[in-house]
Structure 1
Amino acid sequence: KNDVVLMISYGGESLELLNLVSHLKRLSHKIITFTKSPNSSLSKLGDYYLSLKIKKEACPINTAPTTSTTLTLALGDVLMACLMRAKNFSQEDFASFHPGGLLGKKLFVKVKDLLQTTNLPLILPSTSFKDALIEMSEKRLGSAILVNEANELV
């Protein structure tokens, strides 16, 4: 609830998007449409409309979406920045929706979350280089820990 859904269709007649509109409205989502015409079916069903109208695609035969996709990207970026400001969207908010990304990891992942305490690649000073490589490969940590007979760090 209270989400904004961005629906992008240059022609505005894409059935897979048109079929979603009633479901999204039932869930009280606001719909912003990006199409070439305010008179397209999708634009008429949306709450807000942003124009993707262009004079010509960069494609030499004016067929492949080139200019229109660049315009879509630019409008999407501007819209996102405006919505973030309007909702006071913070780094923490962003990270909570994208925990696997760099920002999410910086804010939420702690050393204890990454620390491996069992199945460690332990080797003795007398271990051959070949056996050390095997131990490192089997334990998948990319390194080995040099210990003495009492399992103390050397």
Structure 2
Amino acid sequence: KNDVILMISYGGESLELLNLVSHLKRLSHKIITFTKSPNSSLSKLGDYYLSLKIKKEACPINTAPTTSTTLTLALGDVLMACLMRAKNFSQEDFASFHPGGLLGKKLFVKVKDLLQTTNLPLIAPNTSFKDALIEMSEKRLGSAILVNEANELV
């Protein structure tokens, strides 16, 4: 109910987006539009408007969206940075929404989560290099643990 929807359309006349607006409004969502004109159909229906107006695309024939897509990305980044600051969004908040990413793993994954205590690649000091590689490959840990006859670390 409190979601804000970003609707991005350079021309602002995409039927698939225009058809969604009434449904989103009925659900009380606020809509931010990114279009080239505040007079486009989409911009007029949105609650807030951000301009994607450019003089020319970088494409040599001025047709492929190049400059406009870069501007869209930059505006989205600026909007995100402003919202993060306004909401005091922390690294922990970010990590909780992205637990599989580097920051999420750095903040939330502990050694105990990765620790393997069974099926360990144990080798004796007289194990051949070939057999050590086989043991490491079979146990899939990328290393081997050197132990004596009593299975104590050497």
TM-score w.r.t. the length of structure 1 is 0.90
How far did residue 11 of structure 1 move? 1.5
RMSD: 1.6
- Change in CA separation of 1:25 and 1:150 when aligned onto 2, cut-off 3 Å: farther
Name the structure 1 match of 2:17: 17
Q: Deviations over 1:24-70 (max 9, x none)?
A: 33443322111112222322232211110111111110011111011
SS at 1:58's partner residue?
coil
How far did residue 150 of structure 1 move? 1.9
Task: Please identify, of 9-18 and 87-96, the stretch whose mean Cα deviation from structure 2 is larger.
Answer: 9-18
Q: Deviations over 1:71-97 (max 9, x none)?
A: 111111111111111212111111111
How far did residue 23 of structure 1 move? 4.1
Q: Deviations over 1:86-136 (max 9, x none)?
A: 212111111111111121112111111111112211111121111110111
Name the structure 2 match of 1:124: 124
Name the structure 1 match of 2:35: 35
**Structure-2 separation of matches of 1:36 and 1:99:** 36
**Structure-1 separation of matches of 2:54 and 2:48:** 19
**Structure-2 separation of matches of 1:91 and 1:99:** 11
SS at 2:37's partner residue?
coil
- Change in CA separation of 1:138 and 1:21 when aligned onto 2, cut-off 3 Å: farther
**Structure-2 separation of matches of 1:127 and 1:24:** 67
Task: Please identify, of 9-18 and 142-151, the stretch whose mean Cα deviation from structure 2 is larger.
Answer: 9-18
TM-score w.r.t. the length of structure 2 is 0.90
Unpaired segments ≥5 residues, structure 1: none
**Structure-1 separation of matches of 2:98 and 2:133:** 36
SS at 2:89's partner residue?
coil
Task: Please identify, of 12-21 and 134-143, the stretch whose mean Cα deviation from structure 2 is larger.
Answer: 12-21
**How many pairs align?**
154
- Change in CA separation of 1:80 and 1:44 when aligned onto 2, cut-off 3 Å: same
Task: Please identify, of 15-24 and 72-81, the stretch whose mean Cα deviation from structure 2 is larger.
Answer: 15-24
Name the structure 2 match of 1:150: 150
- Identity fraction in percent: 98
Unpaired segments ≥5 residues, structure 2: none
**Structure-2 separation of matches of 1:114 and 1:135:** 20
Name the structure 1 match of 2:2: 2
Task: Please identify, of 71-80 and 19-28, the stretch whose mean Cα deviation from structure 2 is larger.
Answer: 19-28
- Change in CA separation of 1:147 and 1:19 when aligned onto 2, cut-off 3 Å: farther
